[in-house]
Amino acid sequence: MLRITGGEHRGRRVAVPPVGATRPLLERAREGLMSHLAPQIPGARVWDVFAGSGILGLEVLSRGAAEVLAVERSARAATALQEAARSLGYADRLRVLRLDAFRLPFLEEEDPDLLFLDPPYASFREAGSARARVWDLFCRLAGRLRPGGCAVIHTPRGILREDEEACLPGLERRDYGSTSLYWWHREA
């Protein structure tokens, strides 16, 4: 079970899908991220890519986001996320796309105000094609943000190289235990 940290459902617990690869963001890190994004959340269109437990999407809905598009390939995780959204009264504001996240840049979806990308840590552990592919996906999706939007990626602590960070000038980093959140704001 995960606890929603703020908004109309603050303190409410939601079930985590029984999927081994799901690695929800620590509560303290979610609180820090939501605090940073607070002015941008109300009315926002949000993409939660590699959604897993979907806790980030549920957090922003609790804080007033207009809608969340959750992209998750696992059928079990997608079903659990839809059930959590129904139990919170968000079934009409959270849409789950069950597909490979790498197909998202080619779909005709309305551009987001906020983007969360939480890929498997294995994608970042070693330099190579998997890492390059995930970083390219993040940069492509960040490029689709509406003006003033923000893109956030969750990685193992401090793992991005200078050449990767240089792809998004102004990229910021916050560390929480063994993880890092990198966020990039598109100019308004």
Going across the sheet that includes 172-176, the strands are: 94-97, 67-71, 45-49, 114-117, 150-156, 179-185, 172-176
**pTM to 2 decimals?**
0.93
| CATH superfamily ID and name for 2-17+26-185 | Vaccinia Virus protein VP39 (3.40.50.150)
Helix, strand, coil shares of the chain, percent, nearest 5, are 35, 20, 45
pLDDT-based confidence at residue 82 (cuts at 50, 70, 90): very high
pLDDT tens for each residue of 169-179:
999 999 999 99
What are the residue ranges spanned by the domains of the chain? 2-17+26-185
Q: Where is pLDDT greater, at 65 or 26? A: 65
Helix/strand/coil for 93: coil
Instruction: Return the residue matching tokens 């890492």.
Output: 131
Tokens in use for 19?
């999927």
